[in-house]
Amino acid sequence: MAGWWPRFVRPSTLRRQGILGMNARNASYIAEHNPRRHYPRVDNKRLTKQLATEAGLAVPGLIGVIHSHHQLRRLADTLQEQTEGFVIKPAHGAAGDGILVVTGWRGERMRKASGRMLDSNGLQDHISGILSGMYSLGGRPDAALIEERVQFSEVFTEVAHTGVPDIRTVVYRGYPVMAMLRLPTQESDGKANLHQGAVGTGIDLASGATLGGVQHNQPIRVHPDTEASLVDLAIPGWDKLMELAAGCRELSGLGYLGVDVVIDRHRGPLILELNARPGLAIQIANGQGLQPRLQAVDERVAKVSDEPPASRAAWAAAHFGCVPVGLGPVPHERHDD
């Protein structure tokens, strides 16, 4: 595949290709542009949901919050009312750990996104792990959020037969700079996290069309489960999604963040969560380095200030779009998700 690089290369080669490494990301962008006082806005998923709702931004519906073990006694019986399924996640989780996606019921047992079955004891054990801090940042005791399961757009039917796909956009100083579609697989147990085996596909910021995919840092052009093409899949409502991502600068108070959005077939784009430490795998999915785009935003901000989200999104689409289809992954360092 054109654009493929060897797995191990010199740091000087990475710099020439515009690759943003973890150390540079942490020192020059996260530390510089993300005030610590604003981290709770994104590290606490319940607070993120509250802030987004107050700002008039759509989010998946909240069914309930589990704070203590005594709430688990009749939980499975209560959740049987959720015939379309539900999602359980730790309020302070990271990298997709601890997320449980249930797509429906078979008698008294729950069907997970991967197709595996789960009984009420398994559900209680999973939530108990969340409450104990097994998946939380720093291992602190946590709460479990129960959300409505998103009914993803029909556009994704052939590339996401398990779980719900989402779109991760890196936003710098209010400007979307790079995006990827993350597709759950059977290997990832229905979760859209690359380090668990999901597929990432680069997205052209101008058109919202996918550019081909990557799984386990290897380039692919078809989905590993369905064999459907990962090239030229059009993301519905792309302009609205870009504007939504740009507006998360004001919502979060962070200058460098990841915005995760899902597209519901009935409600359109919904903010799933925000991330103060977005991983670098998005460069692999796009076959492009972030550094030139971040520098272009710095130059833009030096000339123009106080642009509204819609104008920032339009500028980003005009300047960072039209990436050639079929470009392979970039060389990379170890990264988080």
- Domains, the chain, ranges and CATH? 11-47+153-320 (3.30.470.20), 62-148 (3.30.1490)
Q: Which residues pair with 200 in a beta bridge?
A: 182, 214
Do 170 and 178 touch, CB atoms closer than 8 A? Answer: yes
Show pLDDT as tens, one digit a residue, over the chain (337 residues). Answer: 334 444 555 655 566 668 888 899 999 999 999 999 999 999 999 999 999 999 888 899 999 999 999 899 889 888 988 888 899 999 998 777 888 889 888 888 998 877 889 999 999 999 999 999 898 877 889 999 999 988 887 788 888 766 778 999 999 999 999 999 999 888 887 777 788 888 999 999 999 999 988 888 888 899 888 888 999 999 988 999 999 999 999 999 999 999 999 988 888 889 988 999 998 889 988 988 999 999 999 999 999 988 999 999 999 999 998 644 433 444 333 334 5
> Measured between alpha carbons, how far is 88 from 74 in angstroms, rounded to an integer?
16
Q: Which residues contact 214 (CB under 8 A, 6 or more apart)?
A: 194, 199, 200, 201, 220, 281, 284, 285, 329
Token pair 């510089």 in the structure block, residue:
32
